[in-house]
Structure 1
Amino acid sequence: MPDAEPNRKDLKLVEELGREAGAIALSYFGKDPEVWWKEGDSPVSQADFAVDAFLKEKLLEARPDYGWLSEETEDSDERLGALRTFVVDPIDGTRGFINGMDRWCVSIAVVEDNRPVVGVLVAPVLQQTLSAALGVGTMLDGGTASVRAPTDTLIMTGPRPFLNATEDFADRAVEKTPFIPSLAWRLAMVAMGEIDVALARGSARDWDLAAADLIVHEAGGRLTDMRSKALSYNCPSTRQGSLVASNADHHDEMLDLARRAMNKQRQA
């Protein structure tokens, strides 16, 4: 088994700085920070830039040989040659952050060999921190997190049309959660045992997914594309396809349900 000690050390660093970054973001929350609009009608706020600058300075100061990939930093091919790379979303769920919603988070992962080995999500308004290291497990505020066992009701989150289409194919009652602005947090709800399955359209990027991916995996879940393939991170392209996260023991069933729903949407 690979030595888990480097992952534990990186996890401690990322947790500490992630909480500090969360406090910085929280200092802007509800105070009408300045907002700009990026390509694709995506907002970025003063808080996003402040958190990004803090994390880039502090993480790379502690690990100067690591690569850097962040939603709010101009990308560089230098990261492709690094043994380990930080993959960061300073505020995942910026639109919700701007609108005063509580389910947004700071997302930080460490990626090695195209897979996350450390992942941390800090949700300051909820006062919750999810963290995982490869081979160590997933923790929620110091306690162990694990996926939900199946029940008579299938609890799902994701794009509403996608969820609506699943009801025709599910073999049990379907309960759909309200909208959650952070994709990372939506996926992590599988790891916390709050939902059975999370669905995502094919528009997410590495920084939305890497930390949550490991958190789901170490809690007994799986996150894959529609072909049942694990995701690769820190590649030249950072865009990912449509995704499903669920309990690992029932992932094939959830994938089949998602594929049927996707086909129904395409034919509509």
Structure 2
Amino acid sequence: MSLPATSHEQDLELLRTSAVAAGIIASGYFRRAVKAWEKENASPVSEADIIVDKFLMTTLMAARPGYGWLSEETVDTPDRLGRQRTFVVDPIDGTRGFIRGEDSWTVSLAVIEDGAPVAGVVYAPARDEMYDAYQGGGARLNGRPLRRSRRSGSLPLIPAPGAVHQEMQAAGLDYKRGPAYPSLAYRLVQVATGRLDAAVARRGALDWDIAAAAIILAETGIAFEDVCAGPPRFNKAELRHGALAALADMSLKPIVHAALIKVYGCPAEADLPHLSIS
């Protein structure tokens, strides 16, 4: 299939305008009596997730009908695997926090080309924070170049699951526990801002959880890897990733990666639960 006519920068502008509109829709349900239920995997979903997802699918696919589509709230199909570019969407990342009334939930949108993110937006409407990036074009926060603010003289600030904290502490790492924002995408991009020095994800994160954050981290020079497989690849038949780490300070890598491997392991290919596409 030939390359799409649109540039990565044009795709980013589409993501930005769509994320703002999606944020307005989602905000109409925020801190209200929203209907919510659990999916088969015990993760929560709300009526806002579904409504925002439908809006984004209609808007983005109308603008780019030749792209593939992958969203947390849409039934997956194999069609996307044959597309050179694919939208990867989480209409509300951090649904648990959204339902509880916490303000760090995000709209997370990305365009994937040949397995790599080339444009992405992580938008936190309740905090009025728009993080965006496109390949080779740098990253921005609310339209200004995103540059990490150094936390000089402070201990590294790292949020992590309890078992990972235990391993890092046992290895002698001197650090502080960071805030565990419910939105994984938001947590990851805080390594780019300097609010966090590292952020990790347990094994099992899916493409829509991390794709938009991945391009923002890449464009700010932050290392982001599956601790067993290296830089994550996207829009494959298998959507799940191993344990992940975003690191601003590479001196943290040996201990953080080792802790994640100790807790979650490195699965053999045969052990990975493959997605059933229907």
Q: Same fold (TM over 0.5)?
A: yes
Q: Which structure 2 residues correspond to residues 226-237 of structure 1 after superposition, within 5 A?
A: 226-227=227-228, 229-237=230-238
Whether the 8 Å CA contact 1:169–1:260 is kept in 2: the answer is no
Q: Paired residue for 1:161?
A: 163
Could you tell me which amino acid in structure 2 is paired with residue 163 of structure 1?
A: H
Secondary structure, in 3 states, of the residue corresponding to 1:85? strand
- C-alpha distance in 2, partners of 1:235/1:262? 23
Whether the 8 Å CA contact 1:228–1:255 is kept in 2: the answer is no
Q: Say if 2:206 is the partner of 1:205.
A: yes
- In structure 2, the CA distance between the partners of 1:228 and 1:40, relative to structure 1 (3 Å rule), is closer
Unpaired runs of at least 5, structure 1: none
Q: Paired residue for 1:66?
A: 67
Could you tell me which amino acid in structure 2 is paired with residue 48 of structure 1?
A: D
Could you tell me which amino acid in structure 1 is paired with residue 171 of structure 2?
A: F
- C-alpha distance in 2, partners of 1:228/1:246? 16
Q: Paired residue for 1:39?
A: 40
Q: CA deviation at 1:157?
A: 1.6
Q: Which moved more, 1:147-156 or 1:75-84?
A: 147-156
Could you tell me which amino acid in structure 1 is paired with residue 133 of structure 2?
A: A
Q: Which structure 2 residues correspond to residues 48-59 of structure 1 after superposition, within 5 A?
A: 48-59=49-60
Q: Which structure 2 residues correspond to residues 61-210 of structure 1 after superposition, within 5 A?
A: 61-149=62-150, 151-152=152-153, 153-171=155-173, 173-210=174-211
Secondary structure, in 3 states, of the residue corresponding to 2:19? helix
- C-alpha distance in 1, partners of 2:12/2:261? 40
Q: TM-score, normalised by structure 2?
A: 0.88
Whether the 8 Å CA contact 2:227–2:260 is kept in 1: the answer is no
- C-alpha distance in 2, partners of 1:244/1:54? 32
- C-alpha distance in 2, partners of 1:258/1:234? 27
> What CA deviation, in whole Å up to 9, does each residue of 1:92-149 have, x standing for no partner?
0001100111111000000001000001011011111000001011100111113354
Q: CA deviation at 1:227?
A: 3.2
Q: Paired residue for 1:14?
A: 15
Task: Return the structure number with greater strand share.
Answer: 1
Q: How many residues were matched structurally?
A: 260
Unpaired runs of at least 5, structure 2: 1-5, 266-278
Q: TM-score, normalised by structure 1?
A: 0.91
Whether the 8 Å CA contact 2:205–2:242 is kept in 1: the answer is yes
Q: CA deviation at 1:165?
A: 2.5
Q: CA deviation at 1:191?
A: 1.2
Whether the 8 Å CA contact 1:120–1:131 is kept in 2: the answer is yes
Q: CA deviation at 1:264?
A: 5.6
Could you tell me which amino acid in structure 2 is paired with residue 97 of structure 1?
A: F
Secondary structure, in 3 states, of the residue corresponding to 1:245? strand
- In structure 2, the CA distance between the partners of 1:228 and 1:149, relative to structure 1 (3 Å rule), is farther
Q: Say if 2:261 is the partner of 1:259.
A: no
Q: CA deviation at 1:40?
A: 2.1
Whether the 8 Å CA contact 1:110–1:116 is kept in 2: the answer is yes
- C-alpha distance in 2, partners of 1:88/1:264? 31
Could you tell me which amino acid in structure 2 is paired with residue 166 of structure 1?
A: M
Could you tell me which amino acid in structure 2 is paired with residue 159 of structure 1?
A: P
Secondary structure, in 3 states, of the residue corresponding to 1:31? coil
Identity of counterpart residues, as a percentage?
41
> What CA deviation, in whole Å up to 9, does each residue of 1:168-188 have, x standing for no partner?
3355x3111222111111111
Q: Which moved more, 1:145-154 or 1:17-26?
A: 145-154
Q: Paired residue for 2:273?
A: none
Secondary structure, in 3 states, of the residue corresponding to 2:18? helix
